[in-house]
């Protein structure tokens, strides 16, 4: 059996191994694949693994040997699922591999904003502490999380873990979720009646919902206007959950304290983004999922998915 990995670099830039897939036959790994390279590289493959390379109906029609598509991520919008089902091609994804890493990134952003560790560390490196008359100095207000309200949109695996971490910091948690009020109460979480209530009452809002037509630009000018000017917005979900221009304008106008995001609408932001130059906007390059531990889990699950398929079993099948 021939297995082809189309874009293996982000999951494994060289610090991990794909060798577990060699047990199933020939393995070819490409670090990156351009759309025009797809058909040549995937020719003859029965198993195709992809992260961001799109496998559409046309590609499937041109690859008659294809029996299995493994998405090296949780989201699987890069594959035409209906066409795969019509052709009897199995499709799998990698669920829940990055829960702890993404939740940790939420608090990396939040603590960076509230404690300004980098700002103060840089000041020390530049000699400001040595020149200071006192034993202590601050360059920005420092914010304590205890007692603040964390509003969470979406209580899947990641949102639930963020809620637990927030509670460990002494924060009150409210959420918009499909879970029942009773279920949330058992978790120590208050169920918000709607988005507007959550945005207006929260000191911190963290987004963990899927990107759908209903959640596209969930954070828009109207919802930003409901937020406290002292509020912090965190997005480790999907870039288009935010109207980026509206967020940049809110920051510039002082209507929002700070924003921390790990995702943008366009990635990489070749044409820029209004948020890149906005004040008090902290952007990381889509790395929340990419800890060594999370990437190791991703590869292990990908291998398990293929092994199950080879044995005629269903594991993480979409």
Q: Which residues are catalytic?
A: 238, 267, 286
- Beta-carbon contacts of 284 under 8 Å, excluding residues fewer than 6 positions away, are 105, 109, 260, 261, 262
Cα(128)–Cα(123) distance, integer angstroms:
5
- Dihedral of the CA atoms 43, 46, 49, 52 (nearest 10)? 50
Characterise 47 by phi-psi region: left (phi > 0), alpha (psi -120 to 50), beta (else): beta
- Beta-carbon contacts of 191 under 8 Å, excluding residues fewer than 6 positions away, are 174, 175, 176, 177, 179, 180, 181, 184, 185
3-state secondary structure of 48: strand
Cα(78)–Cα(47) distance, integer angstroms:
16
């Amino acid at each position: 059996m021939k297995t082809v990995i189309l874009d293996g670099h982000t999951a494994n830039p060289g610090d991990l191994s794909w060798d577990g897939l060699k047990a199933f036959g020939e393995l070819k790994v490409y670090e990156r694949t351009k759309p025009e390279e797809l058909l040549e590289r995937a020719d003859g493959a029965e198993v195709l693994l992809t992260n961001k390379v799109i496998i559409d109906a046309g590609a499937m029609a041109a690859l008659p040997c294809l029996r299995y598509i493994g998405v090296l991520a949780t989201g699987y919008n890069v594959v035409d699922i209906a066409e795969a089902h019509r052709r009897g091609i199995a499709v799998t994804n990698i669920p829940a591999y990055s829960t702890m890493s993404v939740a940790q990134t939420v608090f990396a952003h939040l603590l960076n904003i509230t404690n300004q560790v980098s700002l103060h560390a840089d000041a020390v490196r530049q000699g400001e502490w040595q020149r200071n008359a006192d034993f202590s100095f601050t360059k920005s207000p420092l914010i304590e999380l205890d007692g603040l309200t964390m509003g969470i949109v979406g209580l899947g695996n990641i949102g639930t873990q963020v809620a637990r971490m927030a509670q460990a910091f002494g924060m009150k948690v409210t959420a918009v979720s499909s879970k029942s009020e009773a279920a949330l109460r058992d978790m120590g979480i208050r169920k918000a009646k709607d988005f507007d209530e959550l945005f207006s009452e929260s000191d911190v809002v963290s987004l963990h919902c899927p990107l759908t037509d209903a959640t596209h630009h969930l954070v828009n000018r109207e919802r930003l206007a409901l937020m406290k000017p002292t509020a912090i917005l965190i997005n480790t979900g999907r870039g288009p959950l935010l109207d980026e221009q509206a967020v940049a304008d809110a920051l510039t106008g002082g209507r929002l304290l700070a924003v921390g995001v790990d995702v943008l609408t366009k990635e990489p932001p070749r044409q820029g983004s209004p948020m890149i130059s906005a004040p008090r906007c902290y952007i990381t390059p889509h790395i929340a999922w990419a800890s060594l531990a999370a990437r190791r889990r991703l590869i292990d699950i990908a291998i398990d998915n293929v092994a199950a398929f080879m044995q005629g079993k269903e594991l993480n099948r979409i």
